[in-house]
Amino acid sequence: MRYRLNTLLCLAAASSALLLIRWRLRLQLPHSTTQAQRATAEEEEEAPCDSAGIKSGIPPYRIYVYELPGEYNRDIAQCFEGNECEKLGSCGYGPLIAQHGNLQVRNTWQFALEVIVHHRMLASPYRTLDINEANAFYLPYYSGLDCLCTRGCSTHSVDGVLQWLKQQQPFQERRQHLMALSKIEREHFSRRCPLLARSEIRDFLLIGIEQESNEVYRRRRRGDVRPLVVAPYPSYGHFSDKRHPHTLSQSRDVFLLLAAGTRRSNPFRAHILQQFPESTTLSPDAFLHGGRTPPGVLWYQTPECRGQHHKYTLAWMQRALFCLQPPGDSPTRKSFYDAVISGCIPVIFKDADVTVRYPFDSHLNYSAFCVEIDASAVRRDRTALDALRELVSQRNIQHMQRDLQTAAACLQYSFPFHHSPNDAFAMILNQIEVRLQNNGSVDVQPLGS
């Protein structure tokens, strides 16, 4: 019931936003006019994100959002109502934990992308209610959540939603369709979560948190299909306006932080966890109570769905200079985006056998604000700390922090969303435009280019 009420509130906000957009367009008052008049030198530094905004006030393309039967989205989301860690209220952003200036800390679930994108599409100036005006059609099926809700067996729902889709005229006419995936691409290949094994989805333009890094495996499972629009995992942090967060001036008395659970999901991760002798589950204030000095290297333990770490992860990251990002069940993790938003320089691992695509890599130069460690060297005879110290001795930390601060706006989902012309969702819309113009192709910029 609570989720249904939150959904109605979100839909009301979306309807109001759409009416306001139409009123502006009717009066020939581009949304960007007043923004341009107020532009400052600081805002001009946000160039990587500015390309995602609507410069003329008229969207370059239109999206029609299907109204699916509730069993394929709303009812799936209600499956998680009352759970301790899977919070989907407030349009998918979860409940507010704290507000620090323009940074909201929310208990946002890492698998909330389908809900967030759905509500953002409903409120977007790119949305049209006229099916004949649309350039693309968004299918708001919560496939990833469906797999989680049914404990990994969504075959019945996939059959039902595709049967519904086949009855829609735009699909029959082979028009461009869009969809978001809350779980990583690989997990949608399986028999138990079979969405991407279905031929009806082959021509969809998909928005997802991780593209399968093994291209040979990907082609074998899906054939010669277009790349995903890779989107950030939803983080705990959300900016409420365009201002930069004040991260550079904060005291960063922890040199290297690892925020991770205790599960050894692979040998490399287990090897990394052994390199952190000091760990805690306490908040920074509780840990430092009584004048205790923060350690230079610390493992903040974040066991899944246990404890209060969702309240304090960003607080610890705001005290740290570097945040280590070892792979877990897959090469990418939500913690990477928590670190970016907190101003903590991400430390990632380069593996010769894995090619990871990061969000909006044609706009953002990740090598400017990340440190990349050779995973093979750490496997052999080096600690992550030693490798990091050697690499950062050759880098300008302040420059990296500035670039990180600029990139942070692009890699988070702002809330409330009417204040967010240049956040991750705006970047997603920009990537969709590029794909529509290039018939589904995209230029991928590797890390370091």
Together in a domain, 127 and 72? yes
Rounded CA separation 141/159 (Å): 12
Rounded CA separation 136/66 (Å): 11
Together in a domain, 84 and 162? yes
Rg (CA), the chain: 22
Flag whether 283 is in a domain.
yes
Together in a domain, 178 and 207? yes
Together in a domain, 135 and 191? yes
Strands 96-100 and 279-280: unpaired
Together in a domain, 80 and 163? yes
Rounded CA separation 258/322 (Å): 9
Q: Please give the DSSP secondary-structure letter assigned to residue 228.
A: P
Here the tokens at position 415 are: 């809330």
Flag whether 444 is in a domain.
no
Together in a domain, 228 and 375? no
- Residue-range definition of the domain harbouring residue 82: 2-235+420-437
For 99, what's the count of Cα atoms within 13 Å in the CB-facing half-sphere? 8
pLDDT, tens only, 108-118? 999 999 999 99
φ/ψ bin of 91: left (φ > 0), alpha (ψ from -120 to 50), beta (otherwise)? left
- List, in sequence order, every residue forming a beta bridge with 259; answer none if it has no partner: 300
- For residue 296, the domain's CATH number is 3.40.50
The whole-number pLDDT of residue 240 equals: 87
Mean pLDDT of the chain: 82
Sign of the C-alpha dihedral computed for residues 46, 51, 52 and 57 taken in this order: positive
Together in a domain, 196 and 331? no
| Helix, coil or strand: residue 211 | coil
* DSSP per position, 282-300: S-HHHHTTTTPPPPSEEEE
Q: Please give the DSSP secondary-structure letter assigned to residue 72.
A: G
Weakest-pLDDT range from 54-63, 374-383, 422-431: 54-63
Q: Please give the DSSP secondary-structure letter assigned to residue 123.
A: H
Based on DSSP, count helices (H) and strands (E) in the chain, helices before strands. Answer: 18, 14
The whole-number pLDDT of residue 215 equals: 80
Flag whether 216 is in a domain.
yes
Flag whether 331 is in a domain.
yes
Together in a domain, 371 and 426? no
Instruction: Please give the tally of structural domains in the chain.
Output: 2
Reported confidence tier of residue 231, pLDDT bands at 50, 70, 90: very high
pLDDT, tens only, 315-327? 999 999 999 999 8
For 8, what's the count of Cα atoms within 13 Å in the CB-facing half-sphere? 5
Flag whether 445 is in a domain.
no
Q: Which helix (H) or strand (E) holds 229?
A: strand 229-230
Flag whether 53 is in a domain.
yes
Q: How many other β-carbons are positioned within 10 Å of the β-carbon of residue 125?
A: 21
Q: Which of 362, 382, 368, 344 is nearest to 428 (CA)?
A: 362
Identity (one letter) of the amino acid at 34?
T
The whole-number pLDDT of residue 152 equals: 52
pLDDT, tens only, 24-75? 333 222 333 233 333 333 333 333 444 444 545 688 999 999 999 999 999 9
- List, in sequence order, every residue forming a beta bridge with 64; answer none if it has no partner: 137
Contact 195, 159 (CB under 8 A): no
Q: How many other β-carbons are positioned within 10 Å of the β-carbon of residue 386?
A: 14
Q: Can you tell me which residue has the tokens 């995992």?
A: 233
Together in a domain, 231 and 256? no
Reported confidence tier of residue 195, pLDDT bands at 50, 70, 90: very high
Together in a domain, 302 and 190? no
Phi, psi (degrees; rounded to nearest 5) at 176 = -70, 130
The whole-number pLDDT of residue 439 equals: 63
Together in a domain, 128 and 261? no
Rounded CA separation 257/255 (Å): 7
pTM for the model:
0.85
Together in a domain, 219 and 267? no
Flag whether 442 is in a domain.
no
Contact 438, 449 (CB under 8 A): no
Flag whether 447 is in a domain.
no
Average pLDDT over residues 316-339: 92
